Structures are given as structure tokens and as C-alpha cells.
Amino acid sequence: MDALFARLRQSTPQITESGQVFLIVGLGNPGREYKDTRHNIGFLTIDALAQTLEVKLSKVQNKAIIGIGKFEGSRVVLAKPQTYMNLSGQAVVGLMNFYKVPKENLIVIHDDIDLPFGTIRIRPKGGSAGQRGLGSTIDKLGSQDFARMRLGVGRPPGQMDPKDYVLQRFSKDEEEFLRALLEKACDAVKEFVQNGLNAAMNKYNGNT
């Protein structure tokens, strides 16, 4: 997986901060046993963004590992909640309150088994569709009106329990497709920060 992130690194111009603050949250579970699993694709996206934006994820705050950087004049807070998936909202709302992030500047990134592997869907609002981290965020925020990026990991094969499937690591064959998905997800986040949610949806909703 380290080799995968090496290709995602790129230099990004650092521009004087404009005062806008964005919170980019990737959902996942902490712990070595969950590292690089399908359910942690939100964490993987934050790791990829940190590489791309040259941000260090080195601070623990509000029950999350975070890193702070700048992109196109805005302050960007990257976060990986460490509460386990079903309590993710505690970290999200805590960080929003601390950094005074308006709901329109929040985007939550998570896995979705109902989308084909490699698919991105960005939405301005909606329910959790059973995704517990998203459900926790909706509950703690008291609103469904925030952006979310669904990253397709595909359906489990045969009769496999979806809970077992999402806790599996990506196969070697899947990693090449995963690289393309993470690259597109990073580009979509940057589009969201620079040009807004509608621009990101229009440009990136669909397959990698």
C-alpha cells in the first residue's frame, strides 16, 4: 500500500490563506486489524490527500487524527476519526465546532457496497443508507444537509456476509483499480474546496 501512495504524491501551490476552513473527514476504524480494508477506504483517501497536499497527519484532537494544510487559499483540515465507525459523529462535530466549519464546508468520505468498485458518488445530503459512521454523523450534527462522497467497493461475492466482506483487505489485483479511485477522489475533494459542491458533483460523479 505504501507504493500505491507514492504515486499519489504531487506538489501543490501554497497560497495565502483566505479565511475559509474546510473539514475533510474519511471514515474508518482504528487499529492494525482494520488497516487497508474496504471499510477503511475513507481513511485511505485521507492518507492519499495528505500525500498530495503535503500535510502531516500527526495531531490527535477531538477523538481524531488530523492534519492541517492549505489549498487554493483555504485552510483544509483532514481527519480520521478514532472512535470506531459507529461513533464517528463525535469526532466530526467536535472538529466542526473547534474550527468553526460551516456545514457547507464539510465533506464525509465513506465506503459503499451498493456501488460498483471504482465508482464515486458525491451528494449534497441524504440518509445514512445503513452506513454507521454516516449515521452517527447525522445524529450528532442533527442534520442530513452536508456533503458526502460514497466510494464504491462492490458487492460481496456469493453468499458472503457484507460485514465480513468490507473488513477484508483489497486484493493485489484490486490495488491498481484502487489507485485510480483514490486519485479521482483526491481530485474531487480539491474541486470541492476550490469550486464548490456542484462543480465536484458535475465533474466527478461516475466511474473512475
Give residue-wise pLDDT tens across range 117-152.
999 999 999 999 889 999 999 999 999 999 999 999
**Which of 4, 27, 39, 131 is labelled catalytic?**
39
Q: What values do phi and psi take at 46, rounded to 5?
A: -65, -40
pTM of the model: 0.89
- What is the Cα–Cα distance from 206 to 171, expressed in whole angstroms? 23
Cα first-last separation, the chain: 19
Of residues 6 and 31, more confidence is placed in 31
Binned at pLDDT 50, 70 and 90, residue 1 comes out as: low
pLDDT digits (tens, 9 = 90+) for 23-75: 999 999 999 999 999 999 999 999 999 999 999 999 999 999 999 999 999 99
Burial letters 124-152, b for 16+ CB under 10 A, else e = eeeebeebbbbbbbbebbeeeebbbbbbb
CA dist 117 and 30 (Å) reads: 23
Domains and CATH numbers, the chain: 19-207 (3.40.50.1470)
Active site residue 39: yes
| 97 neighbors 39 (Cβ within 8 angstroms) | no
